[in-house]
Amino acid sequence: MEEVLKINRPFYERYSQLDEREEFWNLLLTPLRQSIRINTLKAPLDYIKARLEERYELEPIPWVKEGFFINTQEFGNMMEYSLGLVFPQEASSMIPPVVLDPKPGELVLDMAAAPGAKTTQLAQLMKNDGCIIANDMKKWRVNVLIANLNRFGVLNTRVTVKDGVYFKRFENTFDKVLLDAPCSSVGMIRKSFKFLNDWSMRKVIMYSNIQKKLILAAYKALKPGGILVYSTCTVDPFENEEIVDYLLRKTDAKLERIDLPLKSTPPVLEFGGKKYSEEVKKCLRLHPQDNNTEAFFVAKIRKP
């Protein structure tokens, strides 16, 4: 806590109102456990797992069949990594594709896709069948996305470089939409203190405004009966419950409960002078101490 106060006092003051538990602050600053997702687009799960177990200890991640905690950080010399058989991916970041649950043959929009951890996971769930439009606004990040799609053997994806708002013109088009939104990345502090240094209330408000535009476009592009998953790797209610509450007020969107084998923190109904619909209780809010992962927020939304 002392450390956080020294680096960024406004950060400490804001989030001590959100979670006073000491473990919140301890885990927020503790380096992450390394995890991987096995890429079944290239070889069977058991085969890759058995190869890895000859050299590493793997511990299953309870909420994703292909996910494992692994006792190495060294991927440069790992043959399975070079071959695209494993994707180093944070355990909580595997949740949004699992919740979206895309099926082979579906048309899926991944609105903010780079560098492609979740796009490759979506393609895996779709068994490389159907079509993913993988979009990102930043060209340099899209280059990494394309490299990852190639290395991981993804064959059902078309890449675009647009502001996500562009997709609102494709009204009622996609079976599923993933909006893994740009955010203030508080969850990423466990990877780098840069995110603690860089945090400011001005940025939270800036992201909140962008997220509102993106979620409206994402919802518009969704087919009736389709599912939209909204996610961030941050804890700020202005970027989480507020965005979902905004969508519920502006449209006919319905929230669905998320049922996964993990611990979570109750969603926030009131914060910073704002109140949100009781419906947001259906969202999944993960604080770092819940499952010893990055902080994450996930909402599952259906268009009637």
Catalytic residue list: 233
Whether residue 284 contacts residue 258, with contact meaning beta carbons closer than 8 Å, is answered with: yes
Q: Which residues pair with 297 in a beta bridge?
A: 232, 285
Cβ proximity to ligand SAM, 25 vs 185, nearer residue: 185
Does 136 appear as a known binding residue? Answer: yes
Instruction: Give, as ranges, the residues between 142 and 171 that touch ligand SAM (CB under 6 A).
Output: 163-164
Compute how many other C-beta atoms are within 10 angstroms of the C-beta atom of residue 246.
16
Does 180 appear as a known binding residue? Answer: yes
Cβ proximity to ligand SAM, 25 vs 156, nearer residue: 156
Closest contact distance (angstroms) between CB of 134 and ligand SAM is 9
Q: Label residue 261 exposed, middle or buried (CB < 10 Å: 0-12, 13-18, 19+).
A: exposed
Q: 């809010």: which residue's tokens?
A: 285
Closest contact distance (angstroms) between CB of 87 and ligand SAM is 10
Whether residue 287 contacts residue 19, with contact meaning beta carbons closer than 8 Å, is answered with: yes
Is residue 180 at the binding interface for ligand SAM, with CB under 6 A as the rule? Answer: yes
* Rounded Cα distance, 259 and 72, in Å: 30
Binding region for ligand SAM (CB under 6 A) out of 11-19, 37-45, 133-141, 249-257: 133-141
Q: Which residues pair with 256 in a beta bridge?
A: 300
Among 55, 138, 263, 275, binds ligand SAM (CB under 6 A): 138
Size of the site for ligand SAM (CB under 6 A): 18
Does 245 appear as a known binding residue? Answer: no
Whether residue 187 contacts residue 296, with contact meaning beta carbons closer than 8 Å, is answered with: yes
How many Å separate Cα 51 from the centre of its chain? 28
- Phi, psi angles (nearest 5°) of residue 78: -90, 115
Is residue 85 at the binding interface for ligand SAM, with CB under 6 A as the rule? Answer: no
Binding region for ligand SAM (CB under 6 A) out of 10-18, 137-145, 250-258, 274-282: 137-145
Among 27, 98, 108, 113, binds ligand SAM (CB under 6 A): 113
Closest contact distance (angstroms) between CB of 222 and ligand SAM is 16
Q: Torsion-angle region of residue 293: left (phi > 0), alpha (psi -120 to 50) or beta?
A: beta
Is residue 67 at the binding interface for ligand SAM, with CB under 6 A as the rule? Answer: no
Is residue 117 at the binding interface for ligand SAM, with CB under 6 A as the rule? Answer: yes
Helices 117-125, 139-151: crossing angle, 10 deg rounding = 40
Closest contact distance (angstroms) between CB of 135 and ligand SAM is 6
In this structure, which amino acid lies at residue 256?
Answer: E
DSSP character string of 23-54: HHHHHHHSPPPPEEEE-TTTS-HHHHHHHHHT
Among 27, 132, 137, 159, binds ligand SAM (CB under 6 A): 137
Binding region for ligand SAM (CB under 6 A) out of 37-45, 68-76, 112-120, 261-269: 112-120
Output the known binding site for S-adenosyl-L-methionine.
136, 163, 180
Give me the residues that bind ligand SAM (CB under 6 A), please. Answer: 111-118, 135-138, 141, 163-164, 180, 182, 210
